[in-house]
Each structure stands twice: as C-alpha cells, then as structure tokens.
A and B are shown apart, each in its own frame.
Chain A
Amino acid sequence: MDSSSEYSLHHPKWHRHRTPIFWWVKRWVYICFIGREMTSVAVAYCAVLLTMVYRALQSGPEAYAALMSLLSHPAIIVLHVFALLAVLYHSITWFNLSPKAMVFRLGRWRVPDLMISGGNYAAWLLISGVIAWAYATG
C-alpha cells in the first residue's frame, strides 16, 4: 500500500503528519528534554577548559597567569555561571535517571531506587567535599 499516491479503489491513501522542526516547543516536558540535551555542550566546554588549564600548568607560571587573567574577565565569569548551572542540571537529571539503568541486588534483596540515586548524590558530595578541602588547605 502506497501512502503518497491518490486514493484509488482498494488502495487507500494514508494521511501522514510530518514532525515539524520545532516539535519540542509545544510541550514543557519536551522543552526540558531539549534543555537537558543542550547542557551537554556545557559539559563538553568544561572538559575543554580543564584541558586548557592543564596545558597552561604544564607550560609554566606565565602561561597559567595569562589564562587566569583571561578567565577573570566578567564576560567569561558570566559564561561560567551559566555553564555551572547547566552542568548542575545535567548532573541532577543524570543521577535521577541512574536507578532506571542500574539494578543492584544484595542476595534476594533489590536495592531500592532511592538508595541508588542517593548513593550517586552522596558520592558527588563526598568528592566535591574532598576537592574543596584540598583547595582550602592547599
């Protein structure tokens, strides 16, 4: 059966609705979804930034100081605030989804979803805490 042709006897013409480019603006959940997809740009940016800082450290104090002065520009700071928010959104949605992908068993007992996402959050806080402590004391 062909959907493109005109109707003829016993060969019905199916109606097809094409999905528009801006299909996602119609519903709030879809906007959130597209938003979450976009945050991956911020995640990628963080990775690039980390590499740049690492390279500057390798190249010596002048290169590091130059990068730091560039990064303290107000526009860059604004950009980083947005990047931080995006990465936070990304992490939170990611952790909330983790129990969907992971099922853990201890003997016959299935670890509840809340404990799996909770574990992720706890690990996140712990690692962030260690880094903050290292930064404060170092």
Chain B
Amino acid sequence: MAQAESLEYDVLIVGGGGAGLRAAIAVYETDPKMRIAVVSKVYPMRSHTVSAEGGAAAVIKPDDSLDDHAYDTISGADWMCDQDAVEAFVNEAPEEMLQLEHWGCPWSREEDGSVAVRSFGGMKIKRTWFASDKTGFHMLHTLFQTSLQYDPIERYDEWFVTKLLVDDGRCQGVVAIEMATGRVEPILAKSVIISTGGCGKIFPFTTNANIKNGDGMSLAYRAGVPLKDMEFIQYHPTGLPFTGILITEASRSEGGHLLNKDGYRYLQDYDLGTPEAEPVLRSMELGPRDRLSQAFIKEQEKGRTLVGEYGHYVHLDIRHLGEKVINSRLPFVRELCVKYENIDPVKEMIPVRPVIHYVMGGIHTDIDAATPLPGLFSAGEAACVSINGANRLGSNSLTELLVFGARAGKSAVAFAREQGGAGASVSAQVRDEQERLSRLRSGGGSESIAGLRKEMQDTMEEGAGIYRTEASLASSAEKIQQLQERVAKVAISDSSLTFNTELTAAIELSYMLDGAEAIIHSAINRTESRGSHQRTDHPDRDDENFLKHSLAYREQGGPPRMEYHPVVITRWPPGERVYGQKKG
C-alpha cells in the first residue's frame, strides 16, 4: 500500500474496475515512467465489473464485419449515440479483446482452439466473446492480475474519494479518506481519470452492487462538468425479485422463454416477432432490453403478470433446455437460482422482473475520454462518450471498458506531459474538505440514511421508471429537491475514524441524490420517447427536436441547467428500429 509523505502522481485513476485497470495499464504501456495511482473504495477485484455475466462483443469471425457491429450498436441505441465514437469502438474492440486473451483471460473456446462467440440480444451476428457465464469476473481478475506486474501502478485500496481538486481551470487531484485510519489526504496528479461505474443504486430494484452510487458522476458534476444523457437508464428484463440478481441474457439466447401467468410467450403481442422453437436473433426473447422491459409493464397493466411478495413478476422458463445444456452453458444461472432464490431452473421456472441494470448516461466526454474540464478524463459506465445512446446493447459495455479505458489512459498521459506543479489554492481546498468531513462525522443531524435512501429509490421508481410522464417526473423532482435539503441534516451515530461505513454511506447518499437530480431533469426536458426513455405523454421519437444529447450542469440550490449537444451522424441516418418479423 502506498504510504508516501506527499502523494503526487502523473496520472490518478479513481475506480479500480475494468475501465480503471485498463486505463492504468494503458498509461504504463504508453509511458512506463509515469507515476500512476489507482484509488478505489474497494479492493479492485471487488468492483462491479466482476458481476457481468454474458459477454463482450468484438468482431473476430470471418462472417462478421465492423460495419455490422456498428449498425447493430447504432440502431440499438435508437440513433442517440455518436457514430464517430461507435466506429472507433468497433474498430478497436477486436484488438483490445485479443489483448485480454494474450493476458490470459479464459475465454470459452471452439473445438479447434479459437475463441468461441455466442449470440446476444440486439446483435444480428454471433460476436459475443464469453468466459462461460462469468465473463466480467474473468475479465476483471485478468486485468487486476496483469496490473500487478507493473510496479509504477500504486494502489490506494479502500480509499474513498470525496472531492476533486480543481485549480487554474484544471483538475489536479482528489481528496480521499483512507478507510482503515480515517485520515483525509489530498492525492495530487496532473491528470485524473474517473472510472467509478454507474449509479443503479438510485433505484430500488437493480442488478447493481451496493457500491454503485455514482460517486464519480457526482464528483465531476460538483466540479462543474456536465452529466450527459442521464435520462437513459437501462432496465434488464430478467432480474430476480428482492435481490435484483441478474439472470443473464445468455439464458434467453440459449433458448429460454418468457411466459406470463398463463404460460403464454407474451412478447409476440409487442411487435417482437413470432415464437419459433429455436431462438432467432433480434426476435422475441432476443429483442432489445428496453422493448422487453416495456412489454412487461404492458402485461402488468393487462393483469397478466404474477404477483409475489416483492410485486409483479413473470416466468423465465429454461427447463426444456435440459440439465446437460444448462450445466454446460449456463452453470452460473443455475448456481444463482439455487443459492439465492432456492429454485432449481432445471425443474422450475425462474421468477423475473425488469431491474435497473445500466446507466447509458454519465460524465460528458469526447471520443478521447476527455471531459470539458482540462485534466479530467472518464471511461466506463461513469462516462458517456457516447456509444450506448438511448439503449445499450448487451455485451457492448465490457468491451467499452477496454476500448475507452485504454483511450483514457493514453489521453491522460498526453495531458500529464504538458503540466507543471499543483496550483496555489489546492491546499486551502484540502483544508476546507478536511473540516467539512470532520463536521459531518461529528453528527448532530436527525435524518436516517436508510430512510432517505428508501424515499429516494421509491420516488425514482414511481416517477422515472420504465414509463414516465411530465406529472410523474415533476413530482419526483420536487421530492428529490426536498431530499437534498434533508440529506444535509443526516444523522451519523458513528464518530469513529476507523472504517466508518456510516460516514461513507451518508456521502454515497448525497452522491446518489446528485445523480437522481440529473436523471429527473434530463427526463423532464426530453419530451419525446426514445430507447429506454419512454414518455407516455410524448410517445413518439422526435428527431427534429431531440436528436441531441442532454447536458445537465449543476446549479447551486436549484435544478440543473440543461444544455444540448449535437449527435454525431457519420454514415447511418436515423431509421426505424425494427425487430422480429419485420426485419429485411
């Protein structure tokens, strides 16, 4: 563990998941003399990348093409992504994936020893690399283990970042709490990369881990950097009720069926094709995630879902695949069901419901992962480049970590080379932050952290869920505003300096409220329906007025200021998203 007196680096990376580790290695590869710090509130291999199951997309087989991958991504995104970014992404994806193979990632293989690919929702051609159904786990551990050989990468494990240091108009480092000791220290750097992941915990039902509170998004937002396209939140159509544990899309690409309470494959009623015995790409259960989640709500309205302790659900049936296929292709699905839901999918149907899975929006960056604040870069789910637009295709995000993690690393090196020492006002900012945290820890408030968190999650589900209206969003906006006032009076009973998780939970709550504010206001102002953003009061896509990115800028004590930014179109003019039978 790093214990230097003066903590100064060339490149500092906040977040030790897939994007952060890829960035750290990219910095080393670009310039081995760079001093690199990876600051993470958990040990890097605990990061949420670890939970990704299904796979990572990259063109490698002869029957595939980069243009096909680009088109699937763009149409899946409902034309909200920047096409130059998507082209860079699909171009660099194969090399990045091969690099990970060379680093030892245990990709599943064909009989001849080449990398195997599987089909995935929204992809017309099989191009998803996978490591059985623990792809994210293997990718993260491979990256982490590979990073261990590079001595210039110093890790600050279990350091919790509370503030970005900005002076002379550029980002110069962070202030962080060392969890084990409670000391609050500045860590200075010429370039800072934020790769802290998404903020799914803003919502009640989510596949996201407890650590996903949008820390980095809020840090950037508070430093004046806009959050882009925050209204686009992806639901995964198949999560377990209560725990939100994700049942991977692979369970459907292997041939699983979604059934309503009458045992009927209801997706056929929602323009998603007709039922076939074998799975058909981009059809029925392999349609895009947003369409599947929306179909669930419509079924619920028709009273054709089942009702359990945690609300409505439908069934995912994979029994007909047989024990052998389930054990060989979907062992993790079976393990999760048996261990956490006490259901054996070989014999029983799995109860599922849509759960928040991924935030397409994030810190506004350009194609080189640079934010508008000089010296600040971002990659991964925390960032919005954007390649995911209004709806991310499954298996693009793991690849995104690699491609844009590496890009962020290279950009950070180029920037760091041009910079001098830290600015004059930095030490004053550090003192202020130390005092703020000390005051917060000494308590005195009366609001419960868990209580406020639940109120936030409930209002987000009600107001900014799968379907939204002006009225629902406005009411949630008001509620979030109140919660932001109340969070200032939060009660912290733990005054200890040592591993004070109540203090960090309070800070995480304030981070989530920032994310919630950006989501709500971006959603109110987008009076159209596109991809995952569905307004029942504005049901159609409106390219004339809204083929543009939302940018939410933080305003002191009020709603964010909304600005807009053009979507880059290169070769694929906006068209209709067609799935199922209408294709071709």
Interface on A for B, CB 8 Å cutoff?
1, 9-12
Contacts and interface: CB of A to CB of B under 8 A. Distances in A.
B497 A1 contact: no
Contacts of B178: 10
Name the residue in A1, A9, A11, A12 with the highest tally of chain B Cβ atoms < 10 Å from its Cβ.
A12
Contacts of A11: 181
6 contacts: A1-B180, A1-B181, A10-B178, A12-B180, A12-B181, A12-B498
Nearest to A13: B498
B109 to A, nearest CB: 13
Contacts of B183: 10
Interface in B9-40: none
Interface in B496-514: 497-498
Interface string B170-189: 00000000101111000000
Contacts of A12: 180-181, 498
A1 B182 CA distance: 13
Nearest to B180: A12
Contacts of A10: 178, 181-183, 497
A84 to B, nearest CB: 44
Nearest to A11: B181
Contacts of B180: 1, 12
A53 to B, nearest CB: 54
Nearest to A14: B180
A83 B445 CA distance: 71
Q: Which 8 A-B pairs have the closest CB atoms?
A: A10-B183, A10-B181, A12-B498, A12-B181, A10-B182, A12-B180, A10-B497, A11-B181
A12 B498 CA distance: 7
Interface footprint category on B: under 10
A122 B178 CA distance: 60
Contacts of A9: 497
B112 to A, nearest CB: 13
A1 B497 CA distance: 15
Interface in B132-190: 178, 180-183
Contacts of A1: 180-181
B496 to A, nearest CB: 10
Nearest to B183: A10
A10 B178 CA distance: 9
A129 to B, nearest CB: 41
A9 B496 CA distance: 10
A7 to B, nearest CB: 8
B527 to A, nearest CB: 52
Contacts of B497: 9-10
A12 B499 CA distance: 10
A1 B498 CA distance: 13
A85 B498 CA distance: 54
B501 to A, nearest CB: 15
Interface in B466-505: 497-498
Nearest to B182: A10
Nearest to B499: A12
Contacts of B181: 1, 10-12
A122 B368 CA distance: 66
A9 B178 CA distance: 13
A138 to B, nearest CB: 55
B258 to A, nearest CB: 38
A3 to B, nearest CB: 12
A16 B431 CA distance: 35
A108 to B, nearest CB: 10
Interface in B188-202: none
Interface string B335-359: 0000000000000000000000000
Name the residue in A1, A9, A10 with the highest tally of chain B Cβ atoms < 10 Å from its Cβ.
A10
A12 B181 CA distance: 6
A130 B182 CA distance: 72
Contacts of B182: 10
A79 B183 CA distance: 64
A120 B181 CA distance: 55
A11 B180 CA distance: 9
A10 B498 CA distance: 8
A116 to B, nearest CB: 23
Given A10-B183, A11-B181, 10 more contacts: A1-B180, A1-B181, A9-B497, A10-B178, A10-B181, A10-B182, A10-B497, A12-B180, A12-B181, A12-B498
B306 to A, nearest CB: 43
B187 to A, nearest CB: 16
A62 B497 CA distance: 81
Nearest to A12: B498
A14 to B, nearest CB: 9
A6 to B, nearest CB: 14
A10 B438 CA distance: 13
A74 B177 CA distance: 73
A15 to B, nearest CB: 11
B356 to A, nearest CB: 37
A11 B3 CA distance: 13
Contacts of B498: 12
A11 B178 CA distance: 11
A1 B1 CA distance: 11
Nearest to B1: A1
B13 to A, nearest CB: 24
B164 to A, nearest CB: 23
Nearest to A9: B497
A109 to B, nearest CB: 15
A19 B182 CA distance: 29
A85 to B, nearest CB: 40
A7 B183 CA distance: 14
